[in-house]
Amino acid sequence: MQIINGSCIYGIWPWSGDGWGPALGIVLIIIQFFIPLTILVLSYGSMILKLSKRTNPSSFNQSHQTDTYQKAKMNVTVTFCIVAFFYIICWVQNETTLMLLYLGYVDADWDGVYFQFIFQMVLLNSTVNPVIYLLKSTDFQNALREFFGCLPKETRSDKQDTRRSEQSSTSN
């Protein structure tokens, strides 16, 4: 931070004259954008792969379970696509602008409309994820209904008992 004409100026990097600005920018973009995106892709990819292995029926009796796993696979795939889409949309402007800032191509106007917009987009990503899971997960919806008293506990435990019996029949 520097004081210029009586105003505090943020974003003046003391290391920028030493060539550290671009290196710092690359490291921060890797940490803030690419590592979380990689974790997201690997996590959802692992779930989709495991569900894909379970959708290959070995007998006719497993067709109901195959349909269940097929629906779960589709739900996980759609959820992944939505979460990844919003993550990229919300973060890419911020990371691109910061990289241009670190490289010296743009000046930082932290109080300007554009910088405030990209900052709000990053915050929006944290806000939109619970909404995505709320809209995509019936278990999450039922848990919220139960929490707020809209769903009787018997309905929830009946559903869990049904799942347990399905899981025990698949393991036999």
Give the chain's domains with CATH numbers.
14-136 (1.20.1070.10)
**pLDDT greater than 90 at residue 9:** no
d(CA 52, CA 56): 7
d(CA 172, CA 170): 5
Place of tokens 């004259």: 17
**pLDDT greater than 80 at residue 71:** yes
pLDDT of residue 75: 85
136 phi, psi to nearest 5 deg: -95, -20
113 phi, psi to nearest 5 deg: -60, -45
pLDDT of residue 159: 54
**pLDDT greater than 60 at residue 38:** yes
Least confident of 1-5, 126-130, 143-147, 149-153: 1-5
